[in-house]
């Protein structure tokens, strides 16, 4: 016992040194103001990678005999067990309350992976999107590809457009799709490297569903910025992100058919990049209306802890010990007319 305690202290010390103080100080100030009492327990989880959890999204296109019994032996159970407004039968995700990570699978040409390791909260935007077979779907900022893969676990779109502007991340996206999706389906997927802000003008009213998993200040990774100068630069550039997010949303709305819906998501706690962006869109685009997510939130309340006091069309997952998922902000909008 004492040996394991010593090891734990050593590990904690090691990881503690890697926390970027500049970022932590910035978060401390901003999130104490924005989250109030909730921030201290969230901070404890975000600064303690040894208590982080990883979920497994099973790949319906890959045979994996014995995998589910192996997961059960290691304490994993199916997530999203409650009745949800939208939960396709083929969509299978496993979680456990204890920290730790199931072994990752290497990319092998011609062999599909059996599962995708991810933060379980990142599946909420996909479930909120409610994709049906045959719909035309756009994943506007798709890399590294986890949400694109998750969409294809839910349904088979008529046309699936995965876009990623950044060249390096676009190659990562292509490899992810190749690792999880059979050739017959890959032929139905279009991967592009367009500026997401222009897609609405290039393809107006083309899509039934659009996911905008926007570039954001990633709170988990930023806290462990190895280079303090890079961290300072990131914090300065953070102010510009909400403008980019707003432009991406405007483009997504243009790309949507009337009656279509979009989901906006980020992995930050920042109000400026979350509810402020959505409020600005609702105030400036008269042809969209908010969609109530409270039924979905109730259905997953066993798995996730949410910030209270948010609007009915949005939710913010707060990491806590034993449910160390998130941060993940999700909001849903529907396009009601062309103009």
Is 291 within the bounds of a domain?
yes
Binding annotation: 141-147, 164, 195, 213
**How many domains is the chain built from?**
1
The residues annotated as belonging to the active site are 267
Residue 24 is assigned to a structural domain of this protein = yes
- Domain range for residue 40? 18-52+120-335
- 307 found inside a domain: yes
Long-range pairs, 9-17, Cβ under 8 A, ≥24: 11/50, 12/48, 12/50, 15/48, 15/49, 15/50, 16/47
**Chunked mean pLDDT (size 10), the chain, 339 residues:** 42 60 96 96 95 95 93 95 90 93 88 96 98 98 97 97 95 95 92 98 98 96 90 92 98 98 98 98 97 96 95 97 96 92
How many other CB atoms are found less than 10 A from the CB of residue 135? 19
Q: Which of 97, 148, 132 is nearest to 261 (CA)?
A: 132
Residue 8 lies in a domain: no
> For the segment 44-88, what is each residue's pLDDT rounded down to a tens digit?
999 999 999 999 999 999 988 999 999 999 999 999 987 899 999
What is the per-residue pLDDT for 100? Answer: 83
Q: Is residue 137 part of a domain?
A: yes
Q: What are the backbone angles phi and psi of residue 216, rounded to the nearest 5°? A: -150, 175
Give the residue ranges of the annotated binding site for S-adenosyl-L-methionine. Answer: 141-147, 164, 195, 213
In a domain, 89, yes or no: no
Identify the helix (H) or strand (E) that includes residue 242.
helix 228-255
pLDDT digits (tens, 9 = 90+) for 158-191: 999 999 999 999 999 999 999 999 999 998 899 9
Q: Which residue has the tokens 């017959």?
A: 184
- CATH code, domain with 220: 3.40.50.150
How crowded is residue 336: how many other Cβ atoms within 10 Å of its Cβ? 12
Selection from 148, 176, 175, 146 nearest residue 161 by Cα: 148
Work out the number of other CB atoms within 10 angstroms of the CB of residue 35.
18
Residue 271's φ and ψ, nearest 5 degrees, are -60, -35
DSSP category for residue 133: T
Quick check: is 268 in a domain? yes
Q: What are phi and psi of 39, to 5 degrees?
A: -65, -40
> Within a domain: residue 74?
no
């Amino acid at each position: 016992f004492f040996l394991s305690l010593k090891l734990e202290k050593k590990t904690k010390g090691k990881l503690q040194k890697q926390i970027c103080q500049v970022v932590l100080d910035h978060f401390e100030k901003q999130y104490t103001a924005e989250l109030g009492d909730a921030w201290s327990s969230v901070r404890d989880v975000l600064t303690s990678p040894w208590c982080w959890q990883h979920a497994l999204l099973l790949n319906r296109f890959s045979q994996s005999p014995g995998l589910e019994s192996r997961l059960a032996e290691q304490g994993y159970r199916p997530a999203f067990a409650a009745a949800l407004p939208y939960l396709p039968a083929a969509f299978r995700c496993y979680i456990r309350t204890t920290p730790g990570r199931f072994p990752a699978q290497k990319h092998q040409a011609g062999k599909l992976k059996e599962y995708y390791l991810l933060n379980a909260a990142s599946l909420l935007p996909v479930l909120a999107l409610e994709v049906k077979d045959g719909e035309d779907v756009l994943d506007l900022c798709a890399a590294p590809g986890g949400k694109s893969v998750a969409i294809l676990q839910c349904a088979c779109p008529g046309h699936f457009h995965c876009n990623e502007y950044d060249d390096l991340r676009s190659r990562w996206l292509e490899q992810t799709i190749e690792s999880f999706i059979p050739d017959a389906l890959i032929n139905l997927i279009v991967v592009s490297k367009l500026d997401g802000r222009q897609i609405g003008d290039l393809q107006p009213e083309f899509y039934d569903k659009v996911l905008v998993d926007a570039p954001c200040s990633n709170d988990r990774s930023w806290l462990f910025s190895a280079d303090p100068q890079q961290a300072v630069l990131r914090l300065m550039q953070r102010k510009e992100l909400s403008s980019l997010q707003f432009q991406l949303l405007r483009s997504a709305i243009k790309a949507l058919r009337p009656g279509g819906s979009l989901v906006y998501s980020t992995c930050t706690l920042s109000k400026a990049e979350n509810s402020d962006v959505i409020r600005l869109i609702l105030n400036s685009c008269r042809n969209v209306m908010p969609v109530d997510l409270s039924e979905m939130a109730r259905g997953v309340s066993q798995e996730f802890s949410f910030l209270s006091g948010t609007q009915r069309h949005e939710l913010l997952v707060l990491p806590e010990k034993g449910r160390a998922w998130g941060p993940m902000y999700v909001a849903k909008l529907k396009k009601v007319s062309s103009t």
